[in-house]
Amino acid sequence: MAASRPARKGVAIDATSADTKTRILDAAESLFMEHGFEATSLRSLTTAAGVNLAAVNYHFGTKEVLFQAVLTRRLDPMNQERIKLLKGVEREAQGRALSCEKVLFAMLIPALKIARDEKRGGKNFLRLLGRAYADPAPFIRHFLSGQYAEMIGLYKEAFLKALPHLSRQELTWRLHFVMGALSYTLAGTDAVKLFAQMTAVEKYDDELLLQRLAPFLVAGLKAPALADSRKLELVSGD
Amino acid sequence: MAASRPARKGVAIDATSADTKTRILDAAESLFMEHGFEATSLRSLTTAAGVNLAAVNYHFGTKEVLFQAVLTRRLDPMNQERIKLLKGVEREAQGRALSCEKVLFAMLIPALKIARDEKRGGKNFLRLLGRAYADPAPFIRHFLSGQYAEMIGLYKEAFLKALPHLSRQELTWRLHFVMGALSYTLAGTDAVKLFAQMTAVEKYDDELLLQRLAPFLVAGLKAPALADSRKLELVSGD
DNA sequence: GTCTATACCACGATAGAC
DNA sequence: GTCTATCGTGGTATAGAC
């Protein structure tokens, strides 16, 4: 997704007023994070970037491709780091049973690092990502599934070793639940207000949030496999 | 949100080709579910409903209000049923400690019932709802927080009794995680494919899904409160 | 190759005729 | 209540300047 544009020959790129393409990417990231994909117009975007309207079409083709480029720039390094951390955990285990907590943390930490790094988009980027997860647009879903395929595959194998009581199928569902709680949590800083009474004292603190999320997810992952002993019944109340 | 339109005088409403307003609502529900809010144009919507473009503006004011009306029609009864079921659970407990499972099931069952009732929108409505949860548009967030306020408040009190080891604050977060996993799961029938290897054998089965989701959520809710013994550390891999 | 001006069609919304 | 006509703005496409 990088570019099909031919590389600059020997021209040095001015750092202060960068490459047109980079200027578009930066402005797009900021505006998409703030207003979402649909609510961000190319006209306001190009104005903010100080480039011509048609420049987006020239460099990226469509607004959708631009959106993917914005995501890729942050997402690809994050998932690569997740893979690297996982390999570290596996190496450290030296063949012994993998720790479920450690595998999960390897998955969460790169997200936390991004949340703290304003230069890589910070919390707002994660919110943008969380929203993208639930987006109905086919182009977003296909794009994300491609971006995540490798990482998810590796983590699934690791969790299978860490949680031997789960079948492959069951684990697939649980990872789905984990990603749901994670992306929703990251995306929903505002939605928290749904549950009112969120004390003003407790400001949004990423580290604290993940420290709360992690025990919840670990307990869920470790829960015994599907017990059909306790069946859901469609009782009508009263 | 019902209507500010003056009531029909004594005119009987034809059931087969219903009320213009109802025709719009039905078409809107179907199209919003299929394509999402932004991707559904009023022109295609009114064509499908067999009404004039301006009819939406006349009956609902804006596309946003129409969207809220579509959601309210299903959401309000669902949340009322959740409240009714919860009261049944509380009555049954007779002052004894509440069962966390039973409270959770009271919350999940009305959703499952909608998923199975094609006449009330079925699975697609829940997907629409799940997406709405993550939507950045302020009008959607404000609307949902109003729709959910009462139900969430009552359930929070119930869970506090069922899970006495959790502080109010901690429970708020856990309910947030629960709603995240739930709405993401409901919304993401397609996103499941992110995790590949979802056997074609296992078709989408709502009941089975909730039977898998429930143990995960119960375990997460019951997990011990925030253990700062095991701190997240920003170790770099390797 | 890179950028700009401009034209195009679809969208949501609204005013006013009937 | 319903319709048509029309407005401003959206994403996109292209011809031509540098």
CATH number of B98's domain: 1.10.357.10
Higher confidence at residue A109 or residue A10?
A: A109
The answer to whether residues A92 and A195 belong to one domain is yes
Higher confidence at residue A230 or residue B50?
A: B50
The answer to whether residues B23 and B133 belong to one domain is no
pLDDT at res. B108: 94
pLDDT digits (tens, 9 = 90+) for B86-115: 999 999 999 899 999 999 999 999 998 998
B31 is in which domain, residue-wise?
11-59
Q: Which backbone phi and psi does B228 adopt, to 5 degrees?
A: -85, 5
Tell if A55 CB is < 7 Å from nucleic strand C: yes
pLDDT at res. B185: 82
Higher confidence at residue A100 or residue A138?
A: A100
Of A191, A214, A217, the CB nearest to B133: A191
Tell if A39 CB is < 7 Å from nucleic strand C: no
The answer to whether residues B42 and B133 belong to one domain is no
Of A36, A181, A232, the CB nearest to B177: A181
- The C1' atom of D3 and the CA atom of B54 lie apart, in whole Å, by 8
Mean pLDDT: which of A98-102, B175-179, B226-230 is highest?
A: A98-102
Q: Does residue B16 fall inside a structural domain? A: yes
Structure tokens that stand for B31 in this block: 């199209």
Q: Does residue B128 fall inside a structural domain? A: yes
Please give the Cα distance from B181 to B219 (Å, whole number): 13
Q: Around A78, how many Cα atoms within 13 Å sit in the side-chain half-sphere?
A: 25
pLDDT digits (tens, 9 = 90+) for B31-56: 998 888 999 999 999 999 999 999 99
Burial B216-236 (b: 16+ CB within 10 A, else e): bbbbbbbbeebeeeeebeeee
> What's the mean pLDDT in A68-82?
97
Sign of the Cα torsion B17, B24, B124, A145 reads positive
Task: Decide: helix, strand or coil at residue B199.
Answer: coil
Q: Does residue A140 fall inside a structural domain? A: yes
Higher confidence at residue B124 or residue A146?
A: A146
pLDDT at res. B156: 96
Higher confidence at residue A155 or residue B8?
A: A155
Tell if A18 CB is < 7 Å from nucleic strand C: no
Task: Say which nucleotide is closest to residue B53, CA to C1' distance.
Answer: D3
Tell if A51 CB is < 7 Å from nucleic strand C: yes
Structure tokens that stand for A131 in this block: 């929203």
Task: Say which nucleotide is closest to residue A54, CA to C1' distance.
Answer: C4
Shortest Cα distance, chain B CAs vs residue A9, angstroms: 36
The answer to whether residues B115 and B145 belong to one domain is yes
The answer to whether residues A21 and A43 belong to one domain is yes
Closest protein residue to D14 (Cα–C1')? A54
Residues of A from 36 to 75 whose C-beta is within 7 A of strand D: which are they? 40-44, 53-54, 56-58, 61-64
Contact (CB<8Å) A176/B170: no
pLDDT at res. A16: 40
The answer to whether residues A82 and A47 belong to one domain is no
Number of domains in chain A: 2
Q: Does residue B233 fall inside a structural domain? A: no
As a whole number, the mean pLDDT across chain B is: 83
The answer to whether residues A45 and A130 belong to one domain is no
Lowest mean pLDDT among A118-127, A166-175, B73-82, B193-202: B193-202
Are A36 and A15 within 8 A, CB to CB? no
Lowest mean pLDDT among A205-219, B10-24, B145-159: B10-24
Percent of chain B with pLDDT over 70: 80
Positions of strand D less than 7 angstroms from a protein CB: 1-5, 9-15
- Residue type at position B152: I
Please give the Cα distance from A185 to B136 (Å, whole number): 13
Percent of chain A with pLDDT over 90: 57
Q: Does residue B147 fall inside a structural domain? A: yes
Kindly tell me if the per-residue pLDDT of A192 is higher than 70: no
Residue of chain B whose alpha carbon sits nearest to that of A178: B181
> What's the mean pLDDT in A152-157?
96
Burial A91-127 (b: 16+ CB within 10 A, else e): eebeeeebebbbbbbbbbbbbbebbeeeeebebbbbb
> What's the mean pLDDT in A8-36?
76
Shortest Cα distance, chain A CAs vs residue B13, angstroms: 31
pLDDT at res. A4: 38
pLDDT at res. B133: 81
Return the percent helix, strand and coil in chain B, to nearest 5. 70, 0, 30
Residue keyed to tokens 């919507």: B45
Q: Does residue B1 fall inside a structural domain? A: no
- Going through chain B in order, the beta strands assigned E by DSSP cover none
The answer to whether residues B214 and B121 belong to one domain is yes
Tell if B47 CB is < 7 Å from nucleic strand C: no
Kindly list the residues from chain A whose CB atom is less than 8 angstroms away from the CB atom of residue B136: 35-36, 39, 127, 131
The answer to whether residues B85 and B199 belong to one domain is yes
Q: Does residue B208 fall inside a structural domain? A: yes
Lowest mean pLDDT among A69-78, A209-218, B6-15, B80-89: B6-15
Supply the CATH number for residue B33's domain: 1.10.10.60
The answer to whether residues A77 and A195 belong to one domain is yes
The answer to whether residues B108 and B202 belong to one domain is yes
The answer to whether residues A103 and A26 belong to one domain is no
